[in-house]
């Protein structure tokens, strides 16, 4: 059973953390509507969607991806790089406890789940304003017994590694090579975003399909031409909070 954990949009989302974007007004009602459509897309792709209640005091809490890294053997509860987000992890730990052994990132390490790209048994971790080398070292210690390798990847120009690169298929990545060194990913096939759509490299793989944002038409056409099974969602209000489609769910097999 494929589970997708999501969280309702905080009514305080307009006060979210921003690093690379200018603050814009966020339509809370529209953000909630778009988030519901995103949850529907997950369900249509075969996920059992578990929805946590909104956290009124935590503006960024809809972006549940940043709170944990869920593998088959263990879940790593993160220590987010923004201090204002660290209270988000407690409720996620409770939600994941029935499914996984939990490990907790400890200070001085910081890591956001949005900086962690898993490809098979390798975890690429963005070295960004939110995630540091100490977190990579902790994860390597915990995960090496399960056969994982944890590799740091410098990120420039964007918030998280998965702003710059995400997985399209077992052997294929979608990438903005302006923000991350493409050679890091070895012999993986790389599909580059359209140069006019810098933020277009974020896609969710779920249940044999792909969830993709509506507002990157040039890159979307490139992906559609490859015959990829795209489910298009509008997340424009969440994008104003420096979010993306991977940010809004934690997807894992319950077994």
Q: Across-strand partners of 209?
A: 206
CA distance 162 to 242: 12
d(CA 14, CA 238): 10
Cβ–Cβ under 8 Å, residues 18 and 25: no
| CB neighbourhood size of 202 (10 A) | 27
Contacts of 227 (CB under 8 A, 6+ apart): none
Residue 47 is a catalytic residue? no
Q: Which pairs from 168-172 meet CB under 8 Å and 24+ separation? A: 168/203, 168/205, 168/210, 168/223, 168/228, 169/205, 169/228, 170/120
In the block, which residue shows the tokens 């424009």? Answer: 236
Catalytic residue (one of 47, 158, 247, 248): 247
> Quick check: is 35 catalytic?
no
Catalytic residue chosen out of the listed positions 16, 35, 47, 160: 160
Angle among Cα 93, 95, 98 to the nearest 5 degrees reads: 95
Q: Would you name the residues annotated as active-site residues?
A: 160, 247
């Amino acid at each position: 059973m494929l589970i997708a954990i999501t969280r309702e949009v905080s009514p305080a989302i307009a006060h979210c953390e921003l690093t690379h974007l200018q603050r814009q007004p966020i339509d809370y009602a529209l953000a909630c509507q778009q988030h519901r459509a995103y949850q529907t897309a997950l369900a249509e792709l075969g996920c059992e969607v578990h929805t946590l209640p909104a956290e009124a005091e935590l503006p960024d809490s809809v972006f549940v991806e940043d709170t944990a890294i869920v593998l088959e053997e263990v879940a790593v509860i993160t220590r987010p790089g923004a201090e204002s987000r660290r209270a988000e992890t407690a409720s996620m730990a409770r939600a994941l406890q029935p499914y996984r052994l939990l490990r907790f990132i400890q200070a001085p390490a910081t890591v956001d789940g949005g900086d962690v790209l898993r490809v098979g048994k390798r975890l690429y971790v963005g070295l960004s304003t939110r995630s540091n080398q100490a977190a990579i070292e902790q994860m390597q210690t915990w995960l090496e017994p399960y056969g994982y390798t944890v590799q740091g990847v410098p990120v420039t120009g964007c918030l998280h590694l998965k702003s710059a690169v995400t997985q399209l298929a077992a052997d294929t990545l979608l990438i903005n090579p302006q923000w991350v060194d493409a050679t890091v990913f070895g012999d993986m096939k790389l599909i580059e975003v359209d140069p006019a759509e810098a933020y277009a490299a974020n896609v969710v793989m779920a249940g044999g399909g792909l969830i993709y944002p509506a507002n990157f038409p040039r890159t979307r056409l490139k992906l559609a031409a490859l015959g990829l099974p795209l489910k298009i969602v509008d997340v424009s209000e969440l994008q104003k909070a420096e979010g993306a489609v991977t940010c809004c769910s934690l997807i894992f097999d319950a077994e």
